[in-house]
A and B are shown apart, each in its own frame.
Chain A
Amino acid sequence: MNHVLLSRLPQFIVFRGVLSQPYSVAVLILCAAFSLILFTLTTPLMTWVLVLAGCAVVVRISGLSTFNSLPTSRTVNLLAVLAVFALSWFGLSVGLLDSMINLLTVACALKIMLVEKKRDFHLLICTCLFLIGCGFISSLSVFAWIGYTGILALLLGATAIYHGAAVSTAKHFKFVIVLIVQAFPIALLLFLLLPQLPPLWQMPTSKSTETGLSDTVTPGDIASLASSSELAFNATFESADAVPDVESRYWRAMTLEHFDGKTWSISDKRKQAEQQLAFMGRSTPLSILEEASKPQVTNYELIVEPTQQTWLFALEPSFPNNRENGISVKSLFDYTLRASSPISSKKAFYLRYFPNAPITNGLGNFESQLNLQLSTNGNPKARAWGQTLANQYTNPQERVRAVMREFNHGNFRYTLSPNAMPTNPIDSFLFEQRAGFCAHYAGAMVYVLRAAKVPARMVTGYQGGSALNDNVLQIRQYDAHAWVEALIDGVWIRLDPTSVVAPSRLTFGLEHALEELGESRQTTILREFSNSAFFTTLQSWFQQLDYSWSKWVLGFDNAAQSNMLEELLGALTPQKMQVVFLSVVGLIGLILAIYFLPKRQRKTLSPSHVILLNAIQYIETKTGIKRGHRTLSAYLAEVLPLINADSAKVFKQLCELFERNIYAHQAESSRVHLIMKRQLKTLKQTLK
């Protein structure tokens, strides 16, 4: 019966044959885990590396069937040499860290075609574990964590199957899951109590794929941002009452004070001035305010997605609470905040918001001069309008109001897809197109105000934010915004021309404003899907999960750790810390000991055992041949010719005595022990 079936279905045998061998199953699972890791590493990996790795996996899996053979080590070595050349060629452009990840992946892909020995398999498993570590460099979200835990389970399962116990695959995985669950409390303990080390390498900065705002604005940039619904940051307030109302949710990132006729950028002069002032130790106006400890302060926490940049987004005006911050944050004279190192991973920042404090002119005359500069030529109409306004109104406030009035009544339209304005962009925007988005309006307004002799600058950042919880705001990339600040009577006043053109942009968010304009980002079907109850609950559930993960796991940095320890133990002294660390390590050691001890438990050795094992140890050190699990006679046969005749004779007698004492008599006699002890001494002497 059987053989009829088998002969009729050759492919069936191959399949069954493959899956019935633990080696094949292990390799198959390893390949699956490796492919999953490749999926998660698509960003750092170069396309050709991905293709190479994919091919390697396919070759490996097809090689499991007996009909196909695997490439020889010669072929693989040739491939390795070529890959190293290619890597060193492309490596220059992608940076050290990424090329190292690529190298590791290439090595893994090539090795996967050559798994023969146990050592190869272990090497691959370890390299895959390392690749998982590399994956965590770019993403620390809860989903990455869940995914990588799954892959880890696959890798461990593959190892368990490879080691060939003859039980079913499901049983192996059950074992691995039990192992992971057992390891979890240990990991938790280490995470909570051991100090977290800073990264040992420099993260690659300012990649082309960076997200978020950039430090220059050419109207057009922010339109592309608006299409991204990626999370920018979460802001958590102490209570629901502390959440600022919609009108004041302006998250300031940077001030753009330099305009070259096309592009707004951070002024070099300001950068220099800031450096000099910092060097001189001048405190910023806000730090003076902070020291004066004004009563109305709102504390809040930002959880910022990685931007690879140093700027932060803060309510205006905010001051960093550096006692809590992992990365120290500096408050600058233009009321923006800078972190001391680029935000390369999800990070929490603690800030203090002063709702009623004005944004003052921090640098006096220098600042007002800086913000009156205009490019010498171009945009003649806008310049002329500004001059008219300057002549028309003596009060700068009147001039501002006039510009806002013009935006309100001048038939301006809000759109995310304006026409290109290559020459004299401000003129063509103000007097021809009259359609644009926040950057167009802010840019035009600053230009006109400067022409009207009112110091003004463009501020970029985010505006708005949707509530995730009562006290949590979520700000996404499409909330990116640009607005205007004008210096009137020594105080910077926030002006938002977009608010008069498209008021719903501010109160209900971009999505709503665009829907009103009939210019939504999503097609109808997609919108209906995303509005369905199931999808929204699912989405909010995911957001909630990700938020909690960010807050409680990623937010648990050294500062939070020492806070927790202080709460538990009172003031922290180095001695106390040492005791804590030692006890954590000790506790883990104890857990491991409890786990492993039952296996090692032995009966107490009888005296003749002790003597014999000692004698064997002498012989082992003398000859270098370990007994292992061999019997006495087998071991004797091997070592006797290697030692001198005297000791051979004594050792042989000793073994005979032992054998008779242990196996031939009812009880061991102490007389024999004495003889054996004497013989052990002689053996030691004769061996020398």
Chain B
Amino acid sequence: MRQDVIRVQQALSQKIIGKDHQLKLAITCLLANGHLLIEDLPGMGKTTLSHALSKVFGLHYARIQFTSDLLPSDMLGVNIFHSHEQNEEKRFTFRHGPIFSQVVLADELNRASPKTQSALLEAMEERQVSIDGVTHPLPAPFFVIATQNPSYQSGTYPLPESQLDRFFMRISLGYPAWEAEKAMLMQRDASAPLAQIIDETNLIEMQREVSAIHTSDAIFDYILRLVSESRESNDYPNPLSPRASRALLQGAKAWAYVSNREYVTPEDVQSVFVAITAHRLTLSSHQVANGQQSQAFDGEKLSQKLLDSVDPLAA
């Protein structure tokens, strides 16, 4: 099983070169059964990453391009009345929207209206969709990769903190290094399809193994020290929620699993900490606009500061 993870990593790193840490984080996110938010400029490989992930894990993939006129029904699906059928056959049937996929890429999420955004985020949380009083379960595993434009431009609806909190991780791919980009350019067959390495049942099995990773008391204490520091200190405008501490634990376990270890160490917590907490610690853009200090806008810095202020070895 563990060997598969390493093979997955290797396969992905052929597609996205020089971004091993981000790839590992993305796999971790998938194994921890969380949703991923990618904040990046266009052309950095967001789609490639999500497509490659779904391919390697053998998952069904759909992409939704979010625009300001996208309606919830465009994404979730609609009930269609079959009027051309015979009397008995005249009935409503549900036509599944693109969200009924195992990997959903929600591109430019912050361009959609709040109504559509919350429809997606509700589906993410509940893992089911209710339309006209009928509940339709989403496929399992269900994994949303949303992208967001980093600098907010006109015509965007920034995500509120409550919705940001639903994302397990936020990563940013960033520009590749010189050598990595050169290797990418030199690649002869960039569009070669990836082979499936893991199947659906394997993935669910792996997710179960992740939750069984041993976590000692010292790790629980470390996570608690981190979140309570964010609540006690005045430096963090949005302290970490219990959902965040749960995500930290889950993320650390998944990281330990991907790192081929049976137990969680403080390094595991630290490796996933920034990705899991940065978007939860920042002020939302409307808070910034209301005259709050813009320094708190840089979630990565805040997150790193929080990490540095707590000693992982203290008992």
A interface residues (Cβ-Cβ under 8 A, vs B): 2-3, 16, 19-22, 164-168, 175, 602-606, 609, 612-613, 616, 627-634, 659, 662-666
Partner of A21, one of B267, B270, B295, B312: B295
B210-236 interface bits toward A, Cβ cutoff 8 Å, 1 = contact, 0 = none: 000010101101000000000001111
B265 within 8 A of A: yes
Interface residue SS majority, chain B:
loop
B311 within 8 A of A: yes
Task: Given A19-B291, A612-B313, A663-B219, verify A166-B264 contact (CB < 8 Å).
Answer: no
A530 to chain B, nearest CB (A): 45
Q: Smallest CB-CB separation from B154: which chain A residue?
A: A3
Give the chain B neighbours of A168 by CB distance below 8 A. 292
Task: Report yes or no: B263 in contact with A664, Cβ–Cβ below 8 A.
Answer: yes
Q: Smallest CB-CB separation from A630: which chain B residue?
A: B312
Interface footprint category on B: 35 or more
Give the chain B neighbours of A613 by CB distance below 8 A. 313
Task: Report yes or no: B291 in contact with A20, Cβ–Cβ below 8 A.
Answer: yes
B230-257 interface bits toward A, Cβ cutoff 8 Å, 1 = contact, 0 = none: 0001111100000000000000000000
From B221, B233, B234, B312, name the one whose CB has the most chain A CB atoms within 10 angstroms.
B234
Task: Given A167-B234, A602-B314, verify A663-B265 contact (CB < 8 Å).
Answer: yes
Partner of A664, one of B262, B288, B293, B295: B262
Task: Report yes or no: A166 in contact with B314, Cβ–Cβ below 8 A.
Answer: no
B315 within 8 A of A: yes
Partner of A20, one of B216, B292, B314: B292
Task: Given A612-B313, A631-B267, verify A166-B236 contact (CB < 8 Å).
Answer: yes
Q: Smallest CB-CB separation from B287: which chain A residue?
A: A166
Given A603-B315, A662-B216, list of 7 further CB < 8 A pairs?
A: A21-B294, A166-B234, A166-B236, A166-B283, A632-B267, A663-B266, A664-B262
Alpha-carbon gap, A2 to B62, bound state (A): 34
Alpha-carbon gap, A167 to B291, bound state (A): 10
A611 to chain B, nearest CB (A): 12
Task: Report yes or no: A663 in contact with B295, Cβ–Cβ below 8 A.
Answer: no
Partner of B310, one of A604, A605, A629: A629
Q: Smallest CB-CB separation from B302: which chain A residue?
A: A166
B71 within 8 A of A: no
Give the chain A neighbours of B219 by CB distance below 8 A. 663
Q: Smallest CB-CB separation from B152: which chain A residue?
A: A2
Task: Report yes or no: B267 in contact with A22, Cβ–Cβ below 8 A.
Answer: no
Partner of A22, one of B233, B264, B283, B295: B295
Alpha-carbon gap, A167 to B218, bound state (A): 32
B296 within 8 A of A: yes
Alpha-carbon gap, A634 to B271, bound state (A): 12
Task: Report yes or no: A629 in contact with B315, Cβ–Cβ below 8 A.
Answer: no
Task: Report yes or no: A632 in contact with B313, Cβ–Cβ below 8 A.
Answer: yes
B303-315 interface bits toward A, Cβ cutoff 8 Å, 1 = contact, 0 = none: 0000011111111
Task: Report yes or no: A166 in contact with B237, Cβ–Cβ below 8 A.
Answer: yes
Task: Report yes or no: B214 in contact with A664, Cβ–Cβ below 8 A.
Answer: yes
Give the chain A neighbours of B154 by CB distance below 8 A. 3
B289 within 8 A of A: yes
Give the chain B neighbours of A666 by CB distance below 8 A. 214, 216
7 contacts between A and B (CB under 8 A): A20-B293, A22-B293, A168-B292, A628-B311, A630-B312, A663-B263, A664-B263
Alpha-carbon gap, A46 to B279, bound state (A): 55
Partner of B315, one of A16, A609, A630: A609
Alpha-carbon gap, A630 to B310, bound state (A): 9
Task: Given A165-B234, A629-B308, verify A663-B264 contact (CB < 8 Å).
Answer: yes
A180 to chain B, nearest CB (A): 18
B273 to chain A, nearest CB (A): 11
B175 to chain A, nearest CB (A): 26
Task: Report yes or no: A166 in contact with B315, Cβ–Cβ below 8 A.
Answer: no
Alpha-carbon gap, A222 to B216, bound state (A): 88
